[in-house]
A = this chain, B = another copy of it.
Amino acid sequence: MAAARAFPPIEELEAGLVAGDRGLLSRAITLIESSRAEHQTLAEELLRRLQPRTGNAWRVGVSGVPGVGKSTFIDVLGTRLTERGSRVAVLAVDPSSTVTGGSVLGDKTRMDRLSRDPHAFVRPTPGGDATGGVALRSRETMLLCEAAGFDVVLVETIGVGQAEVAVSHLVDTFVLLALAGAGDELQGIKRGIMELADVLVIHKADGDNAAAAERAGAESASALRFLHHGRDGWQPPVLTASAHEATGIDDVWDAVRRHRAALGSTGLAERRCEQALHWFEAAWQDLLRREFLLNDDVAARLPVLRDRVRRGERQPAAAARDLLARGKDPHPPSA
């Protein structure tokens, strides 16, 4: 176990990673994901060294509820891209899984071709208890992939609400997959997600579904107009695609490229700058909360107060002041 945990010297990690060694990239990501203090210091130093080599990939989020066909879609799209000379990294964000539990990409056979493709790198991100924490590590993993020379990073997220919002703060272009419903409506679009989409794809538009997908696409295009109406000079297109029949995939990537062109280098720089600030604010508040919750009195008091607030016995603000008082006093009177 101890041997398995030992990391190569930082110079070796850096050089191997820059040379595109996928084994060392994996080791570096494991270092990033470690919660041990000495690993965090090492990871920080590694990121500092690699910083000048980051930022050169196009970062694309691919989202949608379970069953929408994200993995198959990414498998087909990613293979197309590597065939054309791209190096493609696939990361997954799944804040709902536990630290020890599985990951969204645990079953790698779901990305059959891509996981065996020498120009692709498929890496599941272990889950965690805080969306901010997990997504932050995904961000740093993304930077490592960029330093390793991957020019496209696809960030897959499982559809659990907050994860999509977190991923939208990570990527340059956000692709949302949805399905046509029985009527003209869309299935699998959750509150607050649709308007994050830079490109909306009605997936599984094949066989008997094709006609319904076309209708749902037309209806949702008008809905999207209301949500965006020209924000950032970009009107999100609504496309239909089928990874199963390999149709519409090129059109999706074409839309991603057009979005990239519309954003321009200034727009991209601004977006990434805003994102970095967002993660800084999220990260320090996340750390502050975690440390506060390590206090034994706070940890004991929190569920009691939640219960009182839920039952209407205590006002939220008063309960909050009570909790903070616990956190401050290391030895509260037993009275």
Contact = CB atoms under 8 A, between A and B. Distances in A.
Given A277-B306, A277-B310, A323 B284 contact: yes
A227 interface: yes
A315 B219 contact: no
Contacts of A273: 310, 312
Interface of A: 40, 44, 47-48, 51, 55, 136, 139-140, 143, 185-186, 189, 191-192, 194-195, 219-220, 222-223, 225-227, 229, 231, 273, 276-277, 279-280, 282-289, 291-292, 305-306, 309-310, 312, 315-321, 323-324, 327-328
Contacts of A292: 288
A306 to B, nearest CB: 6
Given A185-B229, A321-B287, A316 B222 contact: no
B226 A219 contact: yes
B324 A306 contact: no
B280 A309 contact: yes
Given A195-B191, A310-B277, A315-B51, A284 B320 contact: yes
A327 B290 CA distance: 14
Contact of A319 (B40, B139, B280): B280
Nearest to A269: B312
Nearest to A185: B229
Contact of A226 (B143, B185, B328): B185
Nearest to A228: B191
Name, among A220, A225, A284, the residue most crowded by chain B CB atoms within 10 Å (CB to CB).
A284
Nearest to A284: B320
